[in-house]
Structure 1
């Protein structure tokens, strides 16, 4: 089942790849998204999980020079340059959603739904993303617009988060580094998964040595 085929609405995988990670490299000399894990950059591994389950994947990257932008483009992602990336994750998400949604509004097409995932989560299994996709498509059309779905592993909520198209305007209004947590509070439907990778991110170099089942 593919998003858009039966819903009339495209589902875009949106990878947030504009951060470097101060805890990974305090002096800024290393970008955690470019750290190599199992032979490929962390951000490319995360993108591959989205690409395995969704027909369209975009990556939000800094407007300034970014190595991640190059490797993600080579990996088949649509790259969205965000000149507000330095303001934080919320600003990056807002700018990327605004840029991508204009393509649909200009063509008179329905706004897309969004499957938002940080690019420092290379262990998320494609089946987790597919579970969110299928749960969203299984909803009655009248409920898809305001739907918010997130994976839950052993009682803990993880990523990515799928938001229906009615959240588009709210996403474009985000500011700073908070992301969408406050916007969607109280609206999230949990989707049980058997994937500890939905909880793991790369925060420090030591995280690269831990398997996806070794949760901090």
Structure 2
């Protein structure tokens, strides 16, 4: 099965900027931008990585080495997913991941991909909580390409049988939306 990781990095980072002034994906964590950590783990999974970003985000573009960029003007999560999936029509499955989850491990991407070999939808579950990334077989591509707004794929997941993959990787749950999230993460390094 040929699977691509679609990494969403087209958001405006409004919540983070309100308290900090800059984009959360460019915030420094352990000497590197948050997005660089996320990219390194995604690439280490061995799957192709497609990064959805806005055309004007030149600082983010500078981090995109050995990945395929896809541009999305709106920046809404729904449109970002739709654009990313639209660039993956020659794949059997996609794994949707968020750029602001720097601790999500390559092994977690691989575990979701392995589940996609047997189930049409796969999602990690950590400590009883559903996490990211979320995997979709090709049969869901048309619905994913219709997404709009900032809601993500919840409407596609609703009323579907999801294969939950039990994992211990807290990186599947921890994202960075606010400056306090980044401070909290830094204090535990």
Name the TM-score, length of structure 2 as normaliser.
0.91
1:1-216 → structure 2 map (5 Å cutoff): 7=1, 10-26=2-18, 29-71=21-63, 73-74=64-65, 76-85=66-75, 88-101=76-89, 104=90, 111-137=91-117, 139=118, 144=119, 147-187=120-160, 188-211=162-185
- Paired with 1:54 and 1:93, the residues of 2 have a C-alpha distance of 21
Please tell me the root mean square deviation across aligned C-alpha atoms, in Å: 2.0
Q: CA offsets per residue over residues 49-78 of structure 1, 9 Å max, x none?
A: 21111320010000223311221x23x221
Q: Any idea what SS the aligned residue of 1:100 has?
A: coil
- Paired with 1:54 and 1:113, the residues of 2 have a C-alpha distance of 14
Return 5+ residue gaps in structure 1 as ranges. 1-6, 105-110
Name the TM-score, length of structure 1 as normaliser.
0.80
- Paired with 1:100 and 1:130, the residues of 2 have a C-alpha distance of 18
Partner in structure 2 of residue 3 of structure 1: none
Q: Any idea what SS the aligned residue of 1:80 has?
A: strand
Return 5+ residue gaps in structure 2 as ranges. none
Larger radius of gyration: 1
Q: Which moved more, 1:191-200 or 1:21-30?
A: 21-30
Q: Which moved more, 1:76-85 or 1:151-160?
A: 76-85
